[in-house]
Structure 1
Amino acid sequence: MSDPDRSHALLFEAAPYHDGRPQSGWRWPGRRRAAAYLLLAVLLTAGLLLVPLGSTLVISLRGGESTYAELWRQGQFGQALLASVIWLAFAPAVCAVGAVLAWLARAAPDRLRVVLRIALVLPAVVSPMTTGVVFRLLFDAHPERGTVNALLGGGVAFLGPGWVWLVLFLAFAWQWTGVAFLLFQGGMARLPRDLLRMARAYGVSRAGRLWAIVVPAMAPAATLAYLIVLVAAARVFDLVLAGAPGSMLSDVGGLGLYWWLHNVDLGDGPAAALAVVMSAVVAAFALPALFGLRRG
């Protein structure tokens, strides 16, 4: 066989063979199993979330718009709604602190990073009731009981109007910053280092690398951290109940505490309307993050 014929034969032997026939159905059982798992997840989600929410919405609408009007006429409902919005708006600040701490901890030695991680995450396992009691004692107005006032040498009313928000925010941030820190640290560990080095080599600016590479890569971790802290802010109850004096509960309690105090007096319709309003307020803060994650 001549050299050209041998080369053509080798090329023919090395060429891949493509079967144009339709593939057999042996993969269908696996697809059916995956569809069954997906259907089970959908049914569980519908049963645990959508059905109760739908039934609550139906109960709230039995009396028409007058049910929501009656709820709005309640004396302390407006203040409770404002307090819930303030608590939910504070969630991004907690996530920002966690992100900054995770960024600063990148250059720390391994042992120091482990110690910092433990010190920040441990408060998350402390009950909110205990956290509220501790911070209430720390900021007590009497110097003989309040550590902060003892250090300042004066009787500042930290548990009074205005100041009590600072005490509760510090307590909430102390408890949940570690969770955000841990999630952001995990996201930063998965950043595409090779892609960042390549972009730097091609002269891409720091801002360009941030928006084109870092932000999309960190979006899942940031969204998860935000949603966890947001749910914690929506469920804030024990922390306020233990950390704020009784006279201040109506100002800082939020809708959850308002429902606990007044659900018996409200009746079924207004109580259901209150639950719908609570869900709508939380969804208004959560949906933009989910849509941003989907677009990213």
Structure 2
Amino acid sequence: MSRTPVRSARQRDAWAFMGPGVAVVVVALYIPVLYTVYLSFTEYDGLGDPTWIGLDNYVEMFQDPAIALSILNTLAWVLGTLLVPVGLGLLVAYLAYGLPGAAWLRVPFLIPYALSGVAVGVIFSFVLQNGGALSQALAFLNLPGSELRWLQDAPLNTIVMILAASWQGVGVNALLFTVGLQSIPKEPLEAAKVDGAGGFRLFASMVWPLLRPTTTIVVGLSIVNSLKTFDIVQSMTQGGPNRVSETLGVTMYRETFLNNEYGMGSAVAIFLTVITVAASVIYLRRQLSLGDAAPKIDAAPKTKGARRA
């Protein structure tokens, strides 16, 4: 008996289940992306029909000093969010790991993550604006810095916004690193302690290499989120003054919805998408290759066997 009718029936059933989901993905994701790619090669103000202009939007984008500064600010966000929230999240997770009531110690760091980026921006705008809470506190305590224009002067405004985003992101990074620490086998760590390893040496030689899978996830998410930074910058400075604190996300918003330059906005969106995907792929491929080359640590069974022997 031929199996072809059975396979055909299974394929029809599979498409019957998959068809609606595939249709939704195509309509909601792929068609808008393809239309954005098309708009990036046109001049379009939202009225009438788009006019095909080829690569002019991309040429103009790379010649615009404001967009060049936006790219530099976006790279600064990537570097800043890798150093501060990821580093502090790892420090909090490692110092609290194993302590009594460690879960409660992490709660204050997790609360800011429940806030939206806009809410964080509003809070820090109140604190950092001219004559705001921070300037008043520094002046009251006769400390230097009360005269600084935290949100007006570059690159100070970008730095304080990165710190604001770090305040929000430390908690979730600490939580992810805590999960990674809990997944590390205890036997290799106990053996290292018996051999005299402790403190920073134990962390650098044993804990950090065993945290590689978790670190890959945390750093990968941080890179993608920092490249797409928009809400905190838009709520705190709107990219100003004079566009000196813009990121690519804010530039895309400005060109599309404020200047009604849908072609240029689409070009910035495609450029941002390309560098985000490229950075993610390059980083993940590098990490996976390093993971394959790293020495494997045998778990407990051999240790137990050795002890019996």
TM-score of the aligned structures, taking structure 2 as reference length: 0.69
Pick from 230, 242, 252: which aligns with 2:235? 242
Shift in CA distance, 284/85, structure 1 to aligned 2, threshold 3 Å: farther
Distance in 2, matches of 1:244 and 1:235, equals: 16
1:140 shift after superposition = 3.1
The CA deviation string for residues 171-218 of structure 1, in whole angstroms up to 9 with x for no partner, is 01000011111000110111111133346667999869856x544532
1:274 shift after superposition = 1.1
Distance in 2, matches of 1:207 and 1:217, equals: 14
The 3-state SS of whatever aligns with 1:252 is coil
5+ residue gaps, structure 2: 1-6, 42-51, 292-309
Alpha-carbon contact 1:179-1:225 (below 8 Å) kept? no
Equivalent in the alignment of 1:138 = 127
1:281 shift after superposition = 2.3
1:82 shift after superposition = 1.4
Shift in CA distance, 58/139, structure 1 to aligned 2, threshold 3 Å: closer
Range moving further from structure 2, 83-92 or 168-177: 83-92
1:290 shift after superposition = 1.3
Shift in CA distance, 168/66, structure 1 to aligned 2, threshold 3 Å: same
The 3-state SS of whatever aligns with 1:76 is helix
Equivalent in the alignment of 2:86 = 95
1:271 aligns with 2:259: no
Distance in 2, matches of 1:177 and 1:146, equals: 25
Query: Could you say which structure has the larger radius of gyration?
Result: 1
5+ residue gaps, structure 1: 1-27
Distance in 1, matches of 2:169 and 2:134, equals: 26
Over the matched positions of the two proteins, sequence identity in percent amounts to 22
TM-score of the aligned structures, taking structure 1 as reference length: 0.72
Shift in CA distance, 51/116, structure 1 to aligned 2, threshold 3 Å: farther
Higher helix share: 1
Equivalent in the alignment of 1:225 = 218
Distance in 2, matches of 1:46 and 1:293, equals: 31
1:188 aligns with 2:181: yes
Range moving further from structure 2, 235-244 or 119-128: 235-244
Corresponding letter in the other structure for 1:182: L
Alpha-carbon contact 1:138-1:147 (below 8 Å) kept? no
The 3-state SS of whatever aligns with 1:68 is helix
Alpha-carbon contact 2:88-2:170 (below 8 Å) kept? yes
Shift in CA distance, 148/240, structure 1 to aligned 2, threshold 3 Å: farther
Shift in CA distance, 209/169, structure 1 to aligned 2, threshold 3 Å: closer
Distance in 2, matches of 1:234 and 1:102, equals: 25
1:285 aligns with 2:279: yes
1:256 shift after superposition = 0.9
1:144 shift after superposition = 6.7
1:175 aligns with 2:175: no
The 3-state SS of whatever aligns with 1:158 is coil
Across the aligned residues of Structure 1 and Structure 2, the Cα RMSD in angstroms comes to: 3.8
Distance in 1, matches of 2:132 and 2:269, equals: 41
